[in-house]
Structure 1
Amino acid sequence: MRAAILRAFGEPLDVAEVDRPEPRAGELLVRVRAVGICATDLKLAAGATAPRPELPHIPGHEVAGEEVDPRTLEPTGRRVACHILAACGQCRECLRGYPVFCDGAVRMGLDRNGGMAEYATVRADLAIPFSAGLDFADAAAAMDSVTTPWHGLHGVGKVQPGEFSLVVGVGGLGINAVQIAADAGARVAAVDIDESRRAAAQAAGAELVSAPADVEDIRDWSGGGVDLSVELSGTRAGFDVAATAVRRGGTVVCCGYFPGVEYGLDSARLVLDNIRVLGSRNASVTESAAALATVEQRRVVPRIARRADLSEVNDMLALLKAGRISGRVVLDPSQGAA
C-alpha cells in the first residue's frame, strides 16, 4: 500500500509502498478515505512532540474510512471515524478521567502508525460509526479539530447557555470552537490577527470579532469581561488576550501550545480576581462521539480548506507551515488502494 513515511525528523515525508498492516485481536482494518493534517503534524515531523515516535513512522491522527474484511479487503458496509487515544481504561489515571496520562496509552499517528496510508488499524471500541450522509473529510476532521475544542469548551470550560465566551485563534480548531460555543447557547466573540479568519468566525456565529489590539472592545461587549476564554493559538500573545478579556471569577482554557512558549498572569490578578487557568488535552471516546454527532447533525461544520492526494502531503504541510491555510487540509489516500 502507499503511505507517507517520516524517515528522519526535519525531512520531507517519503510517499512509498509499504506492507499493509495486519489487525490484531480486537482491531479493525480500515481503508482510509480521509486524513486531516494540522500543526501537530508539523511538530511531529520536526521532532517536537513528546514522546517522539520511533522511525520510520506513518503520521495521521484525524482518520475516517471504511471498515474492510482483512482477508478479502471487501467493505463491510461500516463507515468509521477513528478516536485517536487508545488507553487501558483500568489504571488510576483512566479511572480518574485522564486517559491521556495512562502509562499504556497509544495515540494513533503520534505514538503508532496512523492514517497517512491506504489502510490503517484501529481498536474496535475506538471506531465510531457514522452514516453515509456524512462526508469522510468532515468525519476525519471531527476526530481532532472538533473533538479538541469540544473537550476544551464542554469537558474543561463547562460552557453554559447565555454566558460570554471568547475564542482566541480562529484556525483549524478555532473555527469549530466558535460553532461549538454558539451551539451550546453561549454568546461568542473571536480574536485573530488575520482579517479573513475574523470574517470566517463571524460567518460561523461569532457576535463580535476583533484584532488582538482591540481586546477592550470584547470587555465592553461582555459587560466587563467574558466568562470563558479558550486559547487556541499556542502563542504568548494569544494567552495574554485570553487572560485580559476574562472577567473576575472567569476561566481561561488553553488548548494551543508550542514547546518553549511560556504563559503567565500577574499573581495579583490571578488570586484577587479568582481567575482559573486550565490546560486541555485530548478527549475521551465518548466526547469524540458527541463531537462527531454534532458534525453529522450539521450543528458544527468543519471548514475543509483543501482536499489533496496523499502524494501532495509535503506541499500541503509547507502551505500549513507558511500560514496559508485557513481550515483543515484533508488527504485522500484511497486512490489506487488494492
Structure 2
Amino acid sequence: MRAAILREYGEPLAVRDVPAPEPGPGEAVVRVEACGVCRSDWHAWMGHGEWADDRVPRGQVLGHEPAGEVVAVGRSVDRFAPGDRVVVPFSLGDGTCPYCRRGHGNVCADGRALGFEPDAPGAFAERVAVPNADYNLVERPSWLDATAAAALGCRYMTAYHALAERADLSAGDRLAVHGCGGVGLSAVQLGDALGARVVAVDVDDDALALASDLGADALVNPADLGDTADADTDRGGDGAAAAVPERVRDLTNGGADVSVDALGIAETCRNSVRSVRPRGTHVQVGLTTEAERGEVSLPTDWMTRWEVSFVGSRGMPPTSYDDLFALLDATDVDPGALVSDEIGLSAVSARLAALGEYDVRGVEVVTGLSE
C-alpha cells in the first residue's frame, strides 16, 4: 500500500509502498477514504515536541484524521465488522484504565496517538490499523461522508471537546476564538451551533471572512487596531499588546465567557487569557512552536484577582462522538463546509510547508490515497 513517511524533519515526506497492516486480536484495519492535513502534522513534520518528550520519530507514517471503511478485524473484536463506515479518533485509549472507564479516554495513561508514535502508524496511507478497536472506533452516521468526517476527525472534535466539555459553553455565552485555522474555524462554527455569540480573531482577512460565513458575529484583525493608549492595566493591558483583548472586551460587553487560543503562540495565548471576563475561562488548544518550547508567561496575579480559569484541552474521547453527532444532526451544521481542498498523498509535503507559512484556508483533506 502507499504511505507517506517522515524521513527528515522539515523535508518532503517519502511516499512509497509499504506492507499493509494485518489486524491483531483486538485490532481493526480501516481502508482510508479521507484523512485531513492538520497543524499537528506540521508540528510533527517540523520535529517539535522535544521539550515535552513528545517528538515524533523519523520513520513515522503521519496522518491522524482518518475516515473510511473497516476491511478486517481481529478475533477479539465484537462491535465492528468489514464494511462498517467509521471515524478513527487520533487519541487512542486502552479502554480499561480509570480514565477510559470514566469517559476520558483522550488522556488514557496507556493511550497512543495515531500517527505520532511508532506503535500507532498513521493514516497518510491506504490502510490504517486501529488498536483496541471496540473502544476506539466510532461508527459513522449515514449522513456523514468520509471527506466531511475527516474534517471532523481532529480539529472539529477537538473544538467540540474544548467548548462543550472543558469550558461548558452555553447558549447566550460570549465566545472569543483566537486563530482561524482549522480548529479555530471549527470552534467558530460549533460555538454558533451551541448558541454563543462569537468573536473571531485573526490577522488574515480571508480567514475572517470564512469565520463570518461560519457564524462569527464580530471580527477582529489585530493589524487594524494599532496601539491602545488607554489600555486598562488593571485588566492586564500593556499598550499595544492589549489592543486585541481591549477590542474583544468592547465587543463582548466586558469580556468573553470563554476564550480559545486555537493557534498556540505566546501572543495569542496571552491575548486569549486577557480577553475573558471575571470568572471566565481560557481554553488552550493550540500547541506551541519552537519559539515557546511549551512555555508561555501569563498574568497570574491578574488571573487570580479575577478568578480566571485556564484549562487545557486535547482531542476528544471516543465516547463523546454520539453527543457531537447529535448536535450536528439537530442543527444541520456541516463540517464539510470547512473543507477548502482535496489533495493527493503526494501533495501532503507541500501543504505541510504551507501550514508553516500560515498559507492554508480552512481544512485540506487527502482523498487521493493512491496518488
What is the TM-score with the length of structure 1 in the denominator?
A: 0.91
Cα displacement (A) at 1:223: 1.5
Establish whether residue 140 from structure 1 lines up as the match of residue 173 from structure 2.
no
Cα displacement (A) at 1:245: 1.6
2:7 maps to what in 1? 7
Contact (CA 8 Å) 2:36, 2:153: kept in 1 or not? no
Q: For residues 15 and 294 of structure 1, what CA distance do their matches in structure 2 show?
A: 37
Q: For residues 96 and 133 of structure 1, what CA distance do their matches in structure 2 show?
A: 29
Identical-pair percentage? 33
Q: For residues 292 and 116 of structure 1, what CA distance do their matches in structure 2 show?
A: 25
Say how many residue pairs are matched: 333
Amino acid aligned to 1:87? G
Q: For residues 190 and 143 of structure 2, what CA distance do their matches in structure 1 show?
A: 21
Cα displacement (A) at 1:222: 1.7
Render the CA deviation track for 1:206-264: whole Å, top value 9, x for unaligned: 11111234533321222111111111111111122212221111111111121415333
2:263 maps to what in 1? 233
Q: For residues 149 and 326 of structure 2, what CA distance do their matches in structure 1 show?
A: 9
Structure 1: 5+ residue runs without aligned partners?
A: none
1:251 maps to what in 2? 281
Cα displacement (A) at 1:97: 5.6
Q: For residues 323 and 340 of structure 2, what CA distance do their matches in structure 1 show?
A: 23
Amino acid aligned to 1:244? R
Amino acid aligned to 1:273? W
Q: 2:206 aligns with which of 196, 199, 203?
A: 196
Q: 2:191 aligns with which of 181, 189, 193?
A: 181
Q: For residues 353 and 160 of structure 2, what CA distance do their matches in structure 1 show?
A: 27
Structure with greater strand percent: 1
Establish whether residue 66 from structure 1 lines up as the match of residue 60 from structure 2.
no
Amino acid aligned to 2:310? V
Amino acid aligned to 1:309? G
Alignment of 1:189-338 (within 5 A): 189-212=199-222, 213=225, 215=244, 216-259=246-289, 260=293, 262-295=295-328, 298-302=332-336, 303-335=338-370
Bigger shift: 53-62 or 294-303? Answer: 294-303
Q: For residues 182 and 301 of structure 2, what CA distance do their matches in structure 1 show?
A: 34
Q: 1:334 to 1:266 in 2, by over 3 A?
A: closer
Q: CA RMSD in A?
A: 2.3
Alignment of 1:114-153 (within 5 A): 114-122=122-130, 123-153=133-163
Alignment of 1:13-162 (within 5 A): 13-49=13-49, 50-69=53-72, 76-95=82-101, 98-111=104-117, 112-122=120-130, 123-162=133-172
Contact (CA 8 Å) 2:6, 2:59: kept in 1 or not? yes
Q: For residues 296 and 310 of structure 1, what CA distance do their matches in structure 2 show?
A: 31
Q: For residues 326 and 137 of structure 2, what CA distance do their matches in structure 1 show?
A: 14
Cα displacement (A) at 1:289: 4.0
2:233 maps to what in 1? none
Q: For residues 284 and 7 of structure 2, what CA distance do their matches in structure 1 show?
A: 32
Aligned to 2:30, what secondary structure does the other structure show?
strand
Aligned to 1:77, what secondary structure does the other structure show?
coil
Contact (CA 8 Å) 2:62, 2:115: kept in 1 or not? yes
Cα displacement (A) at 1:92: 4.1
Q: 1:125 to 1:117 in 2, by over 3 A?
A: same
Cα displacement (A) at 1:110: 1.2
Q: For residues 54 and 45 of structure 1, what CA distance do their matches in structure 2 show?
A: 10
Bigger shift: 316-325 or 113-122? Answer: 316-325
Cα displacement (A) at 1:149: 0.8
Q: 1:204 to 1:250 in 2, by over 3 A?
A: same
Aligned to 2:203, what secondary structure does the other structure show?
coil
Cα displacement (A) at 1:95: 4.9
What is the TM-score with the length of structure 2 in the denominator?
A: 0.83
